[in-house]
Structure 1
Amino acid sequence: MDRIVIRGGAKLSGRLPISGAKNAALTLLPCALLTDQPMTLDNLPRLADVDGFGHLLNGMGVSTAIAGGSPDEFGRTMTLDATRITSTTAPYDFVRKMRASILVLGPLIARMGEATVSLPGGCAIGNRPIDLHLKALEQLGAKLEITAGYVKAIAPDGGLKGGRISFPIVSVGATENALMAAALATGETIIDNAAREPEIVDLCRCLVAMGAEIEGIGSERLVVHGKPRLHGATYRVMPDRIEAGSYACAAAITGGELELVGAKADEMGAIIASLRETGLHISETADGVKVAANGKLKPLTISTAPYPAFPTDMQAQFMAMLTRADGASVLTETIFENRYMHVPELARMGADIQVHGRTAVVKGVDRLVGAEVMATDLRASMSLVLAGLAAEGETRVHRVYHLDRGYERLEEKLSAVGADIEREADS
Structure 2
Amino acid sequence: MDLDKLVIQGGYPFSGSVQVAGAKNAALPVLAASVLGGRRVNLSNVPDVADVHSMLELLHFHGAEKAVLHNGRLSFSTEALSGSETPYDIMRRMRASFLVLAPLVGRFGRARISRPGGCAIGTRPVDFHLQALETLGAKVWLDGGIIEVQAPKGLRGNRITFPSPSVGATHTAMMAAAAASGETEIVNCAREPEIADVAAFLTALGAHIEGAGTHRIRVQGATSWRDVDHTILPDRIEAASYLIAAAMTGGQLEIIGGRLEHLGAALRILEAAGISVFPSDRGLMAERKGILKSVDVTTETFPGFPTDLQAQFMALMCLADGVSTIQERIFDARFMHVPELQRMGADIRQNGSTAIVRGVGQFHGAEVMATDLRASMSLVLAGLVAKGETTIHRVYHLDRGFEDIDGKLRRCGARIERISI
Same fold (TM over 0.5): yes
Does the residue aligned with 1:89 lie in a helix, a strand or coil? coil
**Counterparts of 1:57 and 1:373, CA distance in 2:** 35
Q: Over aligned residue pairs, what C-alpha RMSD do you find?
A: 1.3
Q: 1:299–1:327: 8 Å Cα contact kept in structure 2?
A: yes
Structure 1 counterpart of 2:13: 11
**Counterparts of 2:120 and 2:317, CA distance in 1:** 27
**Counterparts of 1:93 and 1:110, CA distance in 2:** 23
Structure 2 counterpart of 1:89: 85
For 1:317-356, what per-residue CA distance to the aligned partner results, in whole angstroms no more than 9, with x for missing partners? 0000111001111100000011100010101110000001
Does the residue aligned with 1:235 lie in a helix, a strand or coil? strand
**Counterparts of 1:254 and 1:387, CA distance in 2:** 9
The one-letter amino acid paired with 2:94 is M
Q: Is 1:101 the counterpart of 2:97 in the alignment?
A: yes
Q: Is 1:258 the counterpart of 2:253 in the alignment?
A: yes
Moved over 3 A (4+): 121-126
Q: 1:173 to 1:261 in 2, by over 3 A?
A: same
Structure 2 counterpart of 1:384: 379
TM-aligned CA deviation for residue 220 of structure 1: 0.6
Structure 1: stretches of 5+ with no match in the other structure: 70-75
Q: 1:189–1:223: 8 Å Cα contact kept in structure 2?
A: yes
TM-aligned CA deviation for residue 373 of structure 1: 0.5
**Counterparts of 1:305 and 1:271, CA distance in 2:** 10
Q: 2:206–2:223: 8 Å Cα contact kept in structure 1?
A: no
Q: 1:5 to 1:91 in 2, by over 3 A?
A: same
Q: Is 1:117 the counterpart of 2:113 in the alignment?
A: yes
**Counterparts of 2:66 and 2:217, CA distance in 1:** 31
Alignment counterpart, residue 369 of structure 2, candidates 374, 399, 407: 374
Does the residue aligned with 2:265 lie in a helix, a strand or coil? helix
Q: Is 1:213 the counterpart of 2:208 in the alignment?
A: yes
Structure 2: stretches of 5+ with no match in the other structure: none
TM-aligned CA deviation for residue 124 of structure 1: 5.0
**Counterparts of 1:357 and 1:173, CA distance in 2:** 25
Structure 2 counterpart of 1:411: 406
Structure 2 counterpart of 1:62: 64
Structure 2 counterpart of 1:145: 141
Alignment counterpart, residue 132 of structure 2, candidates 129, 136, 146: 136
Structure 2 counterpart of 1:397: 392
Alignment counterpart, residue 347 of structure 2, candidates 341, 348, 352: 352
TM-aligned CA deviation for residue 368 of structure 1: 1.1
Q: 2:191–2:215: 8 Å Cα contact kept in structure 1?
A: yes
TM-aligned CA deviation for residue 26 of structure 1: 0.7
Alignment counterpart, residue 279 of structure 1, candidates 267, 274, 277: 274
Q: 1:23–1:199: 8 Å Cα contact kept in structure 2?
A: yes
Q: Judge which range, 400-409 or 272-281, deviates more.
A: 272-281
TM-aligned CA deviation for residue 65 of structure 1: 2.8
Q: 1:278–1:300: 8 Å Cα contact kept in structure 2?
A: yes
The one-letter amino acid paired with 2:16 is G
**Counterparts of 1:19 and 1:343, CA distance in 2:** 27
TM-aligned CA deviation for residue 150 of structure 1: 1.1
Structure 2 counterpart of 1:39: 41
Identity of aligned residues (%): 50
For 1:392-421, what per-residue CA distance to the aligned partner results, in whole angstroms no more than 9, with x for missing partners? 000000000001001101011001011111
TM-aligned CA deviation for residue 208 of structure 1: 1.1
TM-aligned CA deviation for residue 125 of structure 1: 9.4
For 1:112-160, what per-residue CA distance to the aligned partner results, in whole angstroms no more than 9, with x for missing partners? 1111111125895961000110000000000111124211111142x11
Does the residue aligned with 1:308 lie in a helix, a strand or coil? coil
The one-letter amino acid paired with 2:78 is A
Q: 1:185–1:228: 8 Å Cα contact kept in structure 2?
A: no
For 1:181-219, what per-residue CA distance to the aligned partner results, in whole angstroms no more than 9, with x for missing partners? 100111110000011100101000111111210111211
Alignment counterpart, residue 313 of structure 2, candidates 291, 315, 318: 318
The one-letter amino acid paired with 1:138 is E
For 1:357-377, what per-residue CA distance to the aligned partner results, in whole angstroms no more than 9, with x for missing partners? 111011101321100001001
Q: 1:425 to 1:39 in 2, by over 3 A?
A: same
TM-aligned CA deviation for residue 272 of structure 1: 1.4
Q: TM-score, normalised by structure 2?
A: 0.97
